Amino acid sequence: MAKAGSSMITLYTFGPFFGLPDGSPFVTKAMLLLKLAGLSYSQDRGGYGKAPKGKLPFIKDDGVIVADSTLIRLHIEAKYGFDFDRGLTQEQKAVSWAVEKMCEEHLYWAMVDLRWMDDANFAVGPAHFFDSAPAPLRPMIRAIVRRKVRKDLYCQGLGRHAKGDIERMAIRDIETLSVLLGNQKWLMGEAPCGADASMFGFVAGLLTPEFKSPICEAVAARPNLVTYRDRIRAEYF
Ligand SMILES: N[C@@H](CCC(=O)N[C@@H](CS)C(=O)NCC(=O)O)C(=O)O
């Protein structure tokens, strides 16, 4: 079992955007997983072009590459013996896994839709991901990537629905998070579990004031989600 502090871990990120630790909820999740496990890491913003699965995050840990935030979690658990869900009952583990995957496989796509497909949100948000590209090429790069994201949304399925329907379904996710969190500090009580890393990434990402959407308003209208974001941000970032 490797000891925390004995390894060199590099986390490949997009970089901080919109006042968030990273523009991506999955990268933010990986950061919080590493922090919760007490592992120090360095960040490298230059990894997207060599990402083994074409997505961020991925890590390099003593030369071993692990791509995907959930596989990073499993790697930390296996290599460092850190159990993110220690102390949880089987039922709590099952619920927290379901919550995490609701965020990542459903709410995420609603977040992509509101950030990328709404013209005003795109202009204040993802359009800036390409600010470092040469000015004459920027409009073309923005249009190409936006077209790819539209196609991803269509292939995933959520992008086939009307905007109002996407919003109604995403707000059900938000209600679920708020009800399950209740008055607790963390999703499953007094201590963080694995799903909190993911939930924080999405709650924080939806609370950024830049983006205008009923989905973001639904998060902002739930004080327990706002204080959850504030508390974790203050303690870990
Ligand atoms: N299942 C992956 C999802 C990661 C993901 O979707 N990353 C997005 C950013 S939020 C990405 O890198 N997208 C770039 C692309 O699709 O080209 C994980 O958990 O790490």
Ligand 1 centroid, distance to 6 Cα (angstroms): 28
Q: Which mutation among 11, 33, 55 tests ligand 1's pocket best, with the greatest number of atoms within 8 A of CB?
A: 55
- The CA distance from 164 to 215, in Å, is 10
Confidence of residue 214 (pLDDT cuts 50, 70, 90): very high
In a domain, 4, yes or no: no
Helix (H, G, I), strand (E, B) or coil at 176: helix
- The CA distance from 12 to 34, in Å, is 13
Q: Range with the lowest mean pLDDT among 4-8, 40-44, 47-51?
A: 4-8
209 plus 143 within the same structural domain: yes
In a domain, 2, yes or no: no
148 plus 229 within the same structural domain: yes
Given a cut of 80, whether residue 4 has pLDDT beyond it is no
Average pLDDT rounded to a whole number, residues 26-43: 98
User: To 5 degrees, how large is the angle CA 14–CA 16–CA 22?
Assistant: 65
Nearest-CA neighbor of 151 among 96, 113, 178, 121?
A: 113
Counting atoms of ligand 1 from 1, which one is nearest the CA of 51? 12
Average pLDDT rounded to a whole number, residues 88-112: 98
Torsion of CA 209, 210, 216, 221, to 10 degrees: 20
Question: End of a domain among 52, 80, 108?
Answer: 80
- The CA distance from 142 to 128, in Å, is 9
Q: Encode pLDDT of 217-231 as tens digits.
A: 999 999 999 999 999
What pLDDT score was predicted for residue 127? 96
Given a cut of 90, whether residue 2 has pLDDT beyond it is no
67 plus 101 within the same structural domain: no
**Taking the CA atoms of the chain, what radius of gyration do you get in angstroms?**
18
Hey, which residues does 65 pair with through a beta bridge? 60
Average pLDDT rounded to a whole number, residues 207-217: 97
114 plus 219 within the same structural domain: yes
Question: End of a domain among 57, 80, 103?
Answer: 80
Q: State the total domains in the chain.
A: 2
Beta carbons within 8 Å of 181's beta carbon, 6+ residues apart: 187, 224, 225, 228
Ligand 1 neighbours by CB, cut-off 6 Å:
24, 26, 54-57, 68-70
Which CATH number fits the domain that encloses residue 66? 3.40.30.10
What order do you get walking across the sheet with 42-44 strand by strand? Answer: 42-44, 9-12, 58-61, 64-67
What pLDDT score was predicted for residue 161? 98
Q: Encode pLDDT of 132-177 as tens digits.
A: 999 999 999 999 999 999 999 999 999 999 999 999 999 999 999 9
Structural domain that includes position 226: 90-236
Q: How many CB atoms lie within 10 A of CB 54?
A: 8
Ligand 1 centroid, distance to 57 Cα (angstroms): 7
Ligand 1 centroid, distance to 183 Cα (angstroms): 31
115 plus 216 within the same structural domain: yes
What pLDDT score was predicted for residue 123? 97
104 plus 38 within the same structural domain: no
CA distances to 16, 21, 55, 200, 201 from 227, rounded to whole Å, are 21, 17, 30, 11, 14
